[in-house]
């Protein structure tokens, strides 16, 4: 019998996101617990072409170009007209996308009470370095988290 490579991993996705962000200078992580099951929360978070642009404050559209297993390639356009070509991983409870100038990280894990712990990170990358420009990043993440909570409670309309 084979198992998923992360099936026995004692580090949940939210802790993994904190670990990834800790290795990036300037990165901030915003966390919250939403009173909805993981399946409902992740349905909103992982809908890159639909819901993602509704809760991420600076994203207008995302178009998924290719999915190979858990690998994803997407084009995004910000509300300011800037474009990003992302490559990354999207699997249940985990999303990490990077372009030349942006990083987006999302994680979700169930709580014993039936809710979902959610963590968000991301921002503008410093060219040539593994770093994020910290100016405004945490505020944007808090706005995204509030919008995500509203989208989940509204059923992801």
Spell out the SS3 assignment of the chain: CCCCCCCCCCCCHHHHHHHHHHCCCCCCEEEEEECCCHHHHHHHHCCCCCCHHHHCCCEEEEEEEEEECCEEEEEEEECCCCEEEEEEEEECCEEEEECCCEEEEEEEEECCCCCEEEEEEEEEECCCCCCECCCCHHHHHHHHHHHHHHHHHCCCC
Q: Is the pLDDT of residue 11 over 80?
A: no
Q: How far apart are CA 62 and CA 72, in angstroms?
A: 12
Q: Is the pLDDT of residue 31 over 70?
A: yes
Q: How far apart are CA 125 and CA 33, in angstroms?
A: 27
What pLDDT, on a 0 to 100 scale, did the predictor assign at position 135? 60
CB 101 within 8 A of CB 90: no
| φ/ψ of residue 76, rounded to 5 | -125, 150
CB 84 within 8 A of CB 70: no
Region 57-84: what's the mean pLDDT?
91
Q: Is the pLDDT of residue 79 over 50?
A: yes
What pLDDT, on a 0 to 100 scale, did the predictor assign at position 46? 95
State CA 39 to chain mean position distance.
Answer: 15
Region 41-52: what's the mean pLDDT?
94
- Domain ranges, ordered by start, for the chain: 24-153
CB 135 within 8 A of CB 22: no
Q: 130 versus 35: which is more confidently predicted?
A: 35
Q: Is the pLDDT of residue 67 over 80?
A: yes
Q: Is the pLDDT of residue 139 over 50?
A: yes
Q: 67 versus 103: which is more confidently predicted?
A: 67
* CATH classification number, 24-153, choose in 3.30.565.10, 3.40.190.80, 3.30.530.20, 2.60.40.420: 3.30.530.20
Q: How confident is the model at residue 134 (pLDDT cuts 50, 70, 90)?
A: low
Q: Is the pLDDT of residue 9 over 60?
A: no
What pLDDT, on a 0 to 100 scale, did the predictor assign at position 147? 92
What pLDDT, on a 0 to 100 scale, did the predictor assign at position 8? 46
């Amino acid at each position: 019998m084979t198992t998923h490579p992360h099936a026995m991993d004692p580090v949940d996705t939210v802790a993994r996101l904190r670990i990834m962000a800790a290795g990036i200078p300037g990165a901030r992580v915003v966390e919250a617990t939403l009173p909805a099951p993981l399946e409902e929360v992740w349905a909103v978070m992982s809908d890159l072409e639909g819901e993602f642009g509704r809760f991420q404050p600076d994203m207008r559209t995302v178009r998924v170009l290719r999915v190979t297993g858990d690998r994803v390639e997407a084009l995004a356009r910000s509300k300011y007209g800037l474009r990003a070509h992302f490559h990354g991983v999207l699997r249940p409870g985990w999303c990490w996308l990077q372009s030349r100038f942006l990083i987006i990280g999302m994680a979700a894990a169930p709580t014993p009470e039936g809710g979902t712990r959610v963590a968000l990170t991301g921002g503008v990358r410093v060219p040539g370095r593994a770093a994020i420009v910290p100016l405004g990043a945490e505020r944007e993440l808090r706005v995204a988290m509030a919008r995500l909570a509203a989208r989940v409670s509204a059923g992801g309309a």
